[in-house]
Structure 1
């Protein structure tokens, strides 16, 4: 952390700003417990900053971005997978200023895709995926997020969307996700076999130099922002 007079004096440990994490200090294997705590503190600060910036986006601009994201996502899926009929695709219900892709999910449903939404059935456990249709009656799940009812069909997605708070691209083209900090999505991806083709969805302005990947972080296959498509590592 910088001194109270804000005069830079080199790198700090624990860090509060990304620029204060010394490259030689950072170990991606996170074998040092202090380093893991430092990265967690930095992520909390970045998460708060990025969420505040996202909430400040106007309704009109948010709708424009959502439409652009939908176009990029449809192009990626068609180019990568061809037809969507019969494919199980997991979307998400928008919260905390996330971009609303429910119209795109409805398009997928009309095109014959099988659309699912994630739900928490057990704390600190992998998510489950329940089938969703546009006319379905939703129920309140964890954090009051609408989810398909418990009796909805459980599915294993072939393709999964992951909303991004922040994101980064590794030198090898690997995409990394900064989420809300609960660990549910990474825990879920680690448990799924085969792992779905995973697409991070967020703002181009939320790009970070690194998220300082930890052993529990699962890389993304592609990242889609309003600026376009990056990644596609599989």
Structure 2
């Protein structure tokens, strides 16, 4: 095969996705990526995408393309390079550069509406991040979702610990206080405005924590042992 398809299971928070490796180097086509479907279906969608590029190497992004998902069409978006490091790691390894084009295949809901349409199924909204936009805010929640932080962070101390609770709650902490009186509730968008580096944690799974010693250090991540044990027990009991 002159190209490959890399597939990744969802983890409960981040959706499944798959993308091609080698379409650009072999054919001069954009690489393709798609999210939120089961892996077999993602493989089929990308295969159909390659067949489309065989017929139309520069597809028209202003129209839909039917027959990808039964009777539903799909749309194509140009992937902003600000998303490449999050999703195209093997593509970089294969090409030895980030300088390759990529298109996202976006699927509709059962009413043939797309994520940018007003009445798109809200339960599916974050099943496929739109990679042509929002590189300044990559989280899978709304910008105005309430999160916890501290008075000290709002006054200028760096964020050194980020906790994504099993229930979806986010905490952005300075690690200088454990006083409940110092806790504050703000919009997630405000946290990203204070420190854009937390954008790199947008895929932090439920029950995981990220920590760094100083703002110049890379984030280290780990799963809460209690959450990991609970997940294993649920898997063993079939719950």
Return the TM-score normalized by structure 2.
0.23
Larger proportion of strand? 2
If asked which structure has higher relative contact order (CA below 8 Å, sep 6+), I would say: 1
- Structure label with greater radius of gyration: 2
